[in-house]
Amino acid sequence: MANKNSKGLGRGIDALFSNFEDIEKIDEKTEKVQEIPLDEIRPNPYQPRKTFDDSTLRELADSIMLNGVIQPVILRQSSVKGYEIIAGERRVRASRLAGKTTIPAIVREFDETAMIEVAILENLQREDLTPLEEAEGYQTLMNKLNLTQVDVAQRLGKSRPYIANHLRLLNLPQDVKLMLQDGLISMGQARTLLGLNDESLISELAKRAAEEGITVRHLELLVQQLNNPGDVAKKKTKKKKETKPVYIKESEERLMDKFGTSVQISSKGEKGKIEIEYLSPADLTRILDILEISLDD
């Protein structure tokens, strides 16, 4: 259900999101392209992207040195000082790399809500954000615009579990967040690490996963062993190598991706059983939430 607070968003996120392609169109009758000093321009404070690829920025800078900035950037007058970027941060950064002192720009009026919408939604639609940047974008949308996970999922055309699984990454220790941001561990590995009952072990196991190249499946087993050390001895006594059909293995993988936890499927003939592991009462609530099961009903 949509949050009642979301109705007061001016033009509405849907309208803005569907018209991102129009943001940089220039109305030649009413808008004037100005040369704005680069040292008066600041990034959009709600920009979710924290890192920009150096090689592609350098390529763009080389092009600007030869041909100039072909498409003006879009700015708004800052309430503090100078201007803030609405669209075109890569062009601003590349122009500085190219040694330019000014950049062609259109100055428009945008309120704070519109700045948030443009910065986050435009990047989530167009840019290849890291999982952590994506998660921070979703969290900012929820905090600043009073949206729920359901609201964000509906606006962006994604599933609620997709949004929820990204938001869980924000619970990682800071050093592990940096490893995820730098690509030293994957999102799957990061989500698996969040299943550790003892949070103090997350950083240590994350470093090991990065150094040894531990797969998500192997990491899940390590997390299970650390959470339930007594079960290891039992499993050693029963060690039968069970070969599962390919479709069962693929089904397990898909369910693990959906629920963000270990899933086991066992079958006898045409019948079978699906076991979904939860690691705490809060984790059980999260899984029930994904299944849209409410205990309050």
Token reading at 235:
């499993």
Nearest to 266 by CA among 283, 281, 280, 251: 251
DSSP 162-219: HHHHHHHGGGS-HHHHHHHHTTSS-HHHHHHHTT-SSGGGHHHHHHHHHHHT--HHHH
Half-sphere exposure of residue 8, counting CA atoms within 13 Å on the CB side? 5
Token reading at 154:
């509906």
Distances (CA, A) of 106 to 80, 90, 182, 196: 19, 16, 34, 50
Catalytic residue among 89, 133, 134, 252: 89
Q: At what angle do helices 229-237 and 216-227 cross, to 10 degrees?
A: 110
CA 243 to chain centre: 36
Nearest to 40 by CA among 87, 90, 94, 76: 76
Residue 89 annotated to the active site: yes
Active site residues: 89
